[in-house]
Amino acid sequence: MPPITHLSQLDPNGSYTYADYLTWKFDEFVELIRGKVFRPMAGAGRRHQTVSRRLAYRIEDFLLHKQCEMFNAPFDVRLARSTGNGDAQIQTVVQPDIFVVCDQAKLDERGCLGAPDWIIEIVSPGNTAHDTRTKFGVYEENGVREYWIVYPGQQTIETYVLENERYELAAEYAAPGPMPVATLPGLAIEWANVFDEA
């Protein structure tokens, strides 16, 4: 079989694993969700980058000298709750915009194996369904304890917390005020610090 050097060589109806993913030799970032390849989205725009940077700054500052660590895409998150954790078994590999892992045993040089404690996805134009439906379901079924969906254009954030293996809407923020993080007690990010003039 010839090496896979371009995304077009993959079968859009095929089913792939992390073992396959590791052999691909192209530069584009892709995600695998339940074995299906999801094409990379258009490059993150200025507003997306600004919001991401502001959130990451506040999180990183809070986590200094703590056990939990924050990461940004691209950094593979291999979700294997329903498939087993061998490379040839894993069928879901995602690249969250921002995520926090508190269990150091889940981290290795290739990324994170298992569910992060907290994931933040920043919605880009044309990408809403991927973050609000596809990834929402994957994160829920794999036990990600907290999921934030950020809408830079509307300057809103929806926060979900896992309760009895289902996401419950914890809050929606659309105006100045603190936004507490359920999985990191003591951290509350100020809405204005994320969105003012973003």
CATH code where residue 117 lies: 3.90.1570.10
Q: Which DSSP symbol is given to 134?
A: I
Would the pLDDT of 42 be above 60? no
Looking at the DSSP bridge assignments, the partners of residue 190 are 178
Would the pLDDT of 41 be above 80? no
Could you give the CA distance from residue 100 to residue 103 in angstroms, rounded to a whole number?
Answer: 9
Alpha-carbon torsion 106, 71, 125, 157, what sign?
positive
pTM (two decimals): 0.94
172 occurs within a structural domain: yes
How many structural domains are present in the chain? 1
| Helix, strand, coil shares, percent, the chain, to 5 | 25, 30, 45
pLDDT band at 89 (very low <50, low <70, confident <90, very high): very high
110 occurs within a structural domain: yes
Domain housing 147: 46-75+94-195
Could you give the CA distance from residue 51 to residue 122 in angstroms, rounded to a whole number?
Answer: 8
pLDDT value, residue 43:
60
Q: Which of 36-45, 77-86, 92-101, 170-179 has the lowest mean pLDDT?
A: 36-45
Could you give the CA distance from residue 191 to residue 176 in angstroms, rounded to a whole number?
Answer: 5
Structural tokens at position 194: 């994320």
65 occurs within a structural domain: yes
3 occurs within a structural domain: no
Alpha helix (H) ranges present in 28-159? 46-63, 128-129, 135-141
Phi, psi for 125 (deg, rounded to 5) = -55, 135
Say if residue 74 is preceded by a cis peptide, omega within 30 of 0.
Answer: yes
82 occurs within a structural domain: no
pLDDT band at 162 (very low <50, low <70, confident <90, very high): very high
pLDDT value, residue 184:
98
pLDDT value, residue 196:
86
CA 168 to chain centre: 18
Would the pLDDT of 39 be above 80? no
Task: Tell me the average pLDDT across 7-20.
Answer: 92
87 occurs within a structural domain: no
pLDDT value, residue 77:
97
Q: Output the average pLDDT for the chain.
A: 92
Structural tokens at position 99: 């995520």
168 occurs within a structural domain: yes
Would the pLDDT of 107 be above 60? yes
Task: Tell me the average pLDDT across 112-124.
Answer: 96
Q: Encode pLDDT of 122-140 as tens digits.
A: 998 777 888 899 999 999 9
Would the pLDDT of 198 be above 60? no
